[in-house]
């Protein structure tokens, strides 16, 4: 006898299934494009009517995603909507919503919970629900499972619930949605089987795991690994600087070892939607089990202190020129959290700007990927990007190189800036007085 599970898998394999993606940002939008490219009809759901309008007009609001791709998807049947009742049309419902921290650095699950609450009354038999948002182990079972079963449908038999963490790396030309392996954990073996069928057509390699908890922990381990190693090298930077050693030279040298070492480079702090946030999801959940994740919390403390360290280096450089930070004019180069993208989530550059402003300096920024400072929940600047010219550079008392975009003319910056605080090792090996390594 054909089961509901068999019918769902068959629809997914024949590409008759409608793929619903909730949250059309840096994770959801590339996923939408991938499913559309391979022949699925995709329905996008987002609470932001401005995003919905732009997508339905065939344009993109993410710099590294061309509008032509969105337009092509629309012509192939993609539609965006802010109407959550339409989730009933989808055979697969993939949740790509934010999971930030609150002001106490504890998990803010409101976006996930509010989204599921908005959808749960419209779920139907034969759907697979996949959560991709990074979260603590147990979220899928504790928060999603009881909500999606409220209508009487049984997960594992009539509905299928999986956790499959996103692994997007915006702006990285070496990887795309298709080529990044996809971890999938199901609430039951049947859920896992359906989850694999959902992602297998779109992703080159699907990695099934025994449970949603294992998949949730996998994502946290990936990002904690990076956070801890970046914290280590940021601490090493401070020690090396005190000893008069260039940490970038040291990391480059260590990276020549062909085994047992992975190079991580220091910077002005952690940015993005994962690395500064995800470790604290585990530290919070671990407390429920009476555990204290000292190693993780220490790396977080070090990384969170980097913007202050950079501003201290700026003050040191200005003092050497007989100036105080208060009353100075400071230009921050790059306010995206990583090079060559327009993504500003959790950017340490913004924290540096706030610290400089709060100390009485006039702050400005230049970023070819962010023409105007966007509206943000916690950070407020009424600024536009300063065009980089020799004349403009010479007007500032100090320049903080915070994000090393390829589009910056570093020779021109070095020639015309009065003082450069280099947080990215661009001017490694330079001994000129006006370069302060931070």
Q: In whole angstroms, what is the distance from residue 316 CA to residue 191 CA? A: 58
8 Å CB contact between 9 and 126? no
Q: What are the boundaries of each domain within the chain?
A: 4-210, 247-437
In the set 274, 310, 330, 421, the catalytic residue is: 274
| C-alpha separations of 368 from 132, 169, 174, 222, 407 in Å | 30, 20, 22, 30, 7
CATH of domain 247-437: 3.40.50.720
Q: What is the pLDDT of residues 308-336, one digit of tens each?
A: 999 999 999 999 999 999 999 999 999 99
Q: Do the domains 247-437 and 4-210 match in fold?
A: yes
| Whether residue 30 has pLDDT greater than 90 | yes
Residue 371 DSSP symbol: S
Specify the higher pLDDT residue, 272 or 56.
56
Confidence band, pLDDT 50/70/90 cuts, at residue 431: low
8 Å CB contact between 177 and 168? yes
Q: In whole angstroms, what is the distance from residue 375 CA to residue 380 CA? A: 7
Instruction: Give the mean pLDDT of 138-147.
Output: 97
Across 187-249, the runs of DSSP E, i.e. the strands, are 206-209
CATH class of 4-210: alpha beta
Judge whether 96 counts as a catalytic residue. no
The pLDDT value given to residue 430: 66
Direct distance between the N- and C-terminal alpha carbons of the chain, in angstroms, rounded to an integer: 67
Q: What is the pLDDT of residues 231-243, one digit of tens each?
A: 999 999 999 999 9
Written as six digits, the tokens of 407 are 């589009």
The pLDDT value given to residue 263: 96
> How many degrees, rounded to 5, is the angle at CA 175 between CA 169 and CA 177?
75
Could you identify the residue written with the tokens 């930077």? 237
pTM tops 0.85: yes
């Amino acid at each position: 006898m054909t089961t509901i599970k068999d019918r769902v898998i068959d629809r997914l394999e024949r590409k008759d299934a409608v793929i619903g993606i909730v949250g059309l940002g840096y994770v959801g939008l590339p996923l939408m494009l991938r499913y559309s490219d391979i022949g699925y009809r995709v329905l996008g759901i987002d609470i932001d009517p401005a995003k919905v309008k732009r997508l339905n007009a065939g344009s993109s609001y993410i710099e590294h995603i061309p509008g032509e791709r969105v337009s092509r998807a629309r012509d192939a049947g993609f539609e965006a909507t802010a109407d959550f009742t339409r989730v009933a049309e989808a055979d697969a419902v993939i949740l790509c919503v934010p999971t930030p921290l609150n002001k106490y650095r504890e998990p803010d699950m409101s976006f996930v919970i509010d989204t599921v609450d908005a959808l749960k009354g419209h779920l139907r038999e034969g759907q697979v629900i996949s959560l991709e948002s990074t979260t603590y182990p147990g979220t899928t079972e504790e928060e999603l499972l009881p909500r999606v079963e409220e209508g009487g449908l049984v997960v594992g038999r009539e509905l299928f619930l999986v956790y499959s963490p996103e692994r997007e790396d915006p702006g990285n030309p070496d990887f795309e949605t298709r080529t990044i392996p996809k971890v999938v954990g199901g609430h039951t073996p049947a859920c896992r089987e359906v989850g694999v069928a959902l992602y297998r057509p779109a992703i080159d390699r699907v990695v099934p795991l025994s449970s949603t908890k294992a998949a949730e922990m996998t994502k946290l381990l990936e990002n904690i690994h990076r956070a801890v190693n970046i914290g280590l090298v940021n601490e090493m930077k401070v020690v090396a600087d005190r000893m008069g050693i260039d940490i970038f030279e040291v990391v480059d040298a260590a990276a020549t070892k062909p085994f047992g070492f992975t190079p991580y480079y220091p910077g002005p702090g952690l940015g993005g939607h994962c690395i500064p946030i995800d470790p604290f999801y585990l530290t919070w959940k671990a407390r429920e089990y009476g555990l204290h994740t000292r190693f993780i919390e220490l790396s977080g403390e070090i990384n969170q202190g980097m913007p202050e360290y950079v501003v201290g280096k700026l003050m040191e450089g200005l003092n050497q020129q007989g100036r105080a930070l208060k009353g100075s004019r400071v230009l921050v180069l790059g306010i995206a959290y990583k090079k060559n993208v327009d993504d500003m989530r959790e950017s340490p550059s913004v924290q540096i700007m706030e610290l400089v402003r709060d100390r009485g300096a006039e702050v400005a920024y230049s970023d070819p990927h962010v023409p105007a400072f966007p509206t943000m929940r916690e950070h407020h600047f009424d600024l536009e990007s300063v065009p980089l010219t020799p004349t403009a550079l010479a007007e500032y008392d100090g320049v903080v190189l915070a994000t090393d975009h390829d589009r910056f003319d570093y020779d021109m910056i070095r020639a015309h800036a009065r003082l450069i605080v280099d947080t990215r090792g661009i001017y490694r090996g330079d001994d000129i007085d006006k370069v302060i390594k931070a």
